[in-house]
Amino acid sequence: MWRICRNCLPTRVRLKDKGVTCPIDCTLCTVGSEDTLHLFFQCPCSLNVWSMLPFFSSISLLLQQDMDSKNIIFKALHDLSNEDAALFCCVLWSIWKQRNNKVWNEVIDTQVYVVEREKVMLHDWQDARRFCNTSCAQPRQEGNVKWIKPAEGRFKCNIDASFSQLSNRVGIGVYIRDDTCTFVLAKMEWFTLVCEVHVGETLGLLSAMEWVHQLHLGLIDFELDAKKLMDSFSSARQDVTEFGMIIHNCKTIFEQYYVNSSVEFVSRGGQKN
């Protein structure tokens, strides 16, 4: 959202201004010029998304005023309730994702799916905050497995997967901290179609390794609570299944980019601390 307000979101109009050779018509409706004002607030596809939300009347009033996208956002966040403001931010994210899915993946998201995705996103974020607040408020009981910080000069990357039958997808969470326990970076990624648990967890490790390599952090310890994954990762046995091929890809990346790093199993209690 800050990129919209700073006018640095790579819409087609913005790319054209920067000298990129590309069309400027809206990716979604192909009618208007794709700047942030049109894409998020004037495009018929986006307006259809807004119309499905309970606070559409408030947004509609803002759109009748002569304001740019930045001022629309500031005014909406000022006027809406905390709950509606949070959903408003998720709508902007989901519309941008809809646009990018069409540009990069040639996938056309229905407006109903765009609305459902933003609601799931908000629900997941609220769940994560509730879990974090609960974890911080509860005293640690002796005997629980505790998260152990990495050695000096190293980073630790915890990876976990969630499986939603309702939305038919797998969620991957990646969380990086340094040797002072300070948060560094985090990432969430979704894969469509629910798979077996051990396959989803292995996809999480593969995704984390590919992402972390691009960060150039240095020595890093990957931690997961996936015993089957760890057994296969440590084994020299050939496995020609889908699971085995993903493990092979993980090993290849690890051997190429992660010299003196590690992949370790940790009990679920240690992951959630």
| Contact status, residue 266 vs residue 145, Cβ threshold 8 Å | yes
Examine the domain organization and report whether 206 and 104 are in the same domain: no
Identify the pLDDT of residue 93.
94
Examine the domain organization and report whether 84 and 183 are in the same domain: no
Residue 79 sits at φ, ψ, to 5 deg, of -85, -35
- 131 assigned to some structural domain: no
Identify the pLDDT of residue 9.
92
Examine the domain organization and report whether 27 and 110 are in the same domain: yes
Local structure of 158: helix, strand or coil: strand
Give all strands (DSSP E) within the chain, no chain letters: 155-164, 169-177, 183-192, 220-224, 262-265
Residue 57 sits at φ, ψ, to 5 deg, of -60, -40
Examine the domain organization and report whether 92 and 162 are in the same domain: no
Maximum Cα interatomic distance, the chain, rounded to a whole number of Å: 66
Local structure of 176: helix, strand or coil: strand
- 207 assigned to some structural domain: yes
Identify the pLDDT of residue 1.
84
Residue 25 DSSP code: B
- 121 assigned to some structural domain: yes
- Look up the domain containing 24 and give its range: 2-126
- 136 assigned to some structural domain: no
Examine the domain organization and report whether 54 and 107 are in the same domain: yes
Amino acid at 66: D
Distance CA 250, CA 202 (A): 8
- 180 assigned to some structural domain: yes
> How many folded domains does the chain comprise?
2
Identify the pLDDT of residue 273.
42
Examine the domain organization and report whether 164 and 218 are in the same domain: yes
- 142 assigned to some structural domain: no
Terminal alpha carbon distance of the chain: 30
User: Residues 234, 240, 244, 245: is their CA dihedral positive or negative?
Assistant: positive
The residues that bridge with 86 in the sheet, in sequence order, are none
Amino acid at 146: K
Examine the domain organization and report whether 99 and 201 are in the same domain: no
- 133 assigned to some structural domain: no
Examine the domain organization and report whether 162 and 266 are in the same domain: yes
Identify the pLDDT of residue 242.
85
The rounded average pLDDT for each run of 10 residues, N- to C-terminus, in the chain (273 residues) is: 89 92 95 96 96 95 94 95 94 94 91 90 77 57 69 93 76 91 88 78 92 92 92 89 91 93 78 45
Residue position matching structure tokens 């038919």? 168
Parallel, antiparallel or unpaired: strands 155-164 and 220-224: parallel
Residue 167 sits at φ, ψ, to 5 deg, of -95, 0
Examine the domain organization and report whether 160 and 248 are in the same domain: yes
Examine the domain organization and report whether 114 and 208 are in the same domain: no
- Helix (H) / strand (E) element for 185: namely strand 183-192
Distance CA 148, CA 273 (A): 9
Examine the domain organization and report whether 63 and 171 are in the same domain: no
- 72 assigned to some structural domain: yes
Residues 6+ apart with CB under 8 A from 107: 101
Examine the domain organization and report whether 51 and 114 are in the same domain: yes
CATH of the domain at 253: 3.30.420.10
